[in-house]
Amino acid sequence: MTDLILAKVVKRSSGKPDRKTRVHVSVPQKREDEICQQPHFKDGSDKEWADWRKQQVTAQRKVIDACVLPLLGDEVKANFSQKAGCPCGCSPGFILTGHSGSDIWIDLK
Ligand SMILES: [Zn+2]
C-alpha cells in the first residue's frame, strides 16, 4: 500500500520573537538521489557539487512553497542561506522574510 504520509511538518516557537523564522528541510538519501545523484565524495568537481546543491535547494524550495508558505500569508518569502541555522555553515536552511519567531522542520518521507 502506498504510504500516504509524504512529509511531517513541525513548527515551534524559537523563543526569539524578533528573529526571522528558519525552515529546515530533511530529505532522505534515496529522494536526494532521485532529484540529482550526489557526486563522488572525493572525485566530484566543484561544478558537479554546485549543480547537485543547486538542484537540492530548488527541490527543497518547492516543498516549502507547497507545504509552508500558503499557511503563512502571501507576503512571506523563503531565502536559502548556508548559515540559516548556525554561523559556521553546518546547518543550511531557509530564512523567511515577513515571518519571525518560529523554527519549522519539514521531514520528507
Ligand atoms: Zn555550526
pLDDT tens for each residue of 60-101? 999 999 989 999 998 999 999 999 999 999 999 999 999 999
Distance (angstroms) between ligand 1 centre and the Cα of 7 equals 25
Query: With the C-alpha atoms ordered 66, 72, 76, 82, is the resulting torsion angle positive or negative?
Result: negative
pTM: 0.88
Q: Report yes or no on 75 lying in a domain.
A: yes
Q: Report yes or no on 42 lying in a domain.
A: yes
Q: Tell me, what amino acid is at 41?
A: F
For residue 20, what pLDDT is reported? Answer: 98
Quote the Cα angle for 89-94-100, to 5°: 115
For residue 95, what pLDDT is reported? Answer: 98
For residue 70, what pLDDT is reported? Answer: 93
Q: Please count the CA atoms within 13 angstroms of the CA of 31 that sit on its side-chain side.
A: 13
Distance (angstroms) between ligand 1 centre and the Cα of 74 equals 31
- Given a cut of 60, whether residue 106 has pLDDT beyond it is yes
For residue 1, what pLDDT is reported? Answer: 57
87-109: buried (b, 16+ CB within 10 Å) or exposed (e) per residue? eeeeebbbbbeebeebbbebebe
For residue 42, what pLDDT is reported? Answer: 83
Q: Report yes or no on 2 lying in a domain.
A: no
Distance (angstroms) between ligand 1 centre and the Cα of 84 equals 10
Question: The domain containing residue 38 runs over which residues?
Answer: 7-108
**pLDDT > 70 in the chain, percent:** 97
Distance (angstroms) between ligand 1 centre and the Cα of 2 equals 37
Q: Report yes or no on 32 lying in a domain.
A: yes
How do strand 7-13 and strand 102-108 relate by DSSP bridges? antiparallel
Q: Number of folded domains in the chain?
A: 1
